[in-house]
Amino acid sequence: MELFTGLEAGRPLDTDGRPDKEIRVYDLLDRLEIAYSRVDHEAAKTMEDCLMVDETLGVAMCKNLYLCNRQKTDFYLLLMPGDKPFKTKELSGQLGVSRLSFAEAEFMEAWLDITPGSVSVMGLMNDHDNHVRLLIDADLLKMEDIGAHPCVNTTSIRFSMKDLLEQVLPAVHHDYTTVVLTGEG
């Protein structure tokens, strides 16, 4: 990675050239008085790049999967540990959905204002009509902090899981469902 800043506290001092959707994330976190750390980087394209981000943030970025049912009427954002394998059959059974698949980018952009590679729980702030149901793996809920993108994949932030659950999600009018994934089945 050519561009890679060290860990910084809070929003960038200079926001010129940063997308509005990224700035809106900082505005939300600041309005809620949530402490967060940030690292800027090029788009992480390899696992080595991701490890560099994880090491700098001091927390592993979670895996964010945007899914839908066969009819494309129900949409889900799944947060799970990055090193855990994902098996659609295992999650489908817990949700009572016959078949899950990855949702198309058009739905991601329409409701979360994010693009592939930038999927993040922070995108829920753009889902004003609650089209997307948040699912969080039980193992991730045990983590003290969470790593996420601020709706762009060239920056990563770290803040407490408690702040996500108790402040961010209520502020963006979203609940979550706990799922238990083993990576088997």
Tens of pLDDT along 118-127?
A: 889 999 999 9
For residue 111, pLDDT beyond 80: yes
Concatenating the DSSP letter of every residue in the chain gives ---B---EESS-S--TT--HHHHHHHHHHHHTT---EEEEBS---SHHHHHHHHHHHTSPBPEEEEEEETTS--EEEEEE-TTS---HHHHHHHHT-S-EEEPPHHHHHHHH---TT---GGGGGG-TT--EEEEEEHHHHT-SEEEE-SSSTTEEEEEEHHHIIIIIHHHTT--EEEE---S--
Q: Read off the pLDDT of residues 128-144 as tens digits, 9 standing for 90 and up.
A: 999 999 999 999 999 99
Question: Per the domain annotation, does 3 fall within a domain?
Answer: no
Which residues on adjacent β-strands are paired with residue 178? Answer: 136
Contact 77, 65 (CB under 8 A): yes
* CATH code for the domain of 137: 3.90.960.10
Q: pTM for the full model?
A: 0.91
Strand order across the beta sheet in which 8-9 lies: 8-9, 37-40, 155-160, 145-148
How many Cα atoms sit within 13 Å of 168 on the Cβ side?
29
Token pair of 147 as six digits: 């790593």
Number of CB atoms found within 10 A of residue 176's CB: 17
Domain ranges, residue 46? 8-179
What is the arithmetic mean of pLDDT over 40-45?
80
For residue 110, pLDDT beyond 80: yes
Angstrom distance (rounded) from CA 112 to CA 106: 10
Question: Per the domain annotation, does 132 fall within a domain?
Answer: yes
Question: Per the domain annotation, does 61 fall within a domain?
Answer: yes
Question: Per the domain annotation, does 1 fall within a domain?
Answer: no
Question: Per the domain annotation, does 185 fall within a domain?
Answer: no
Question: Per the domain annotation, does 184 fall within a domain?
Answer: no
Question: Per the domain annotation, does 16 fall within a domain?
Answer: yes
Question: Per the domain annotation, does 27 fall within a domain?
Answer: yes
Q: Domain total for the chain?
A: 1
Among candidate residues 86, 125, 82, 122, the one with its CA nearest the CA of residue 102: 86
Angstrom distance (rounded) from CA 27 to CA 91: 34
Angstrom distance (rounded) from CA 59 to CA 106: 30
For residue 1, pLDDT beyond 50: no
* pLDDT for residue 56: 86
For residue 57, pLDDT beyond 80: yes
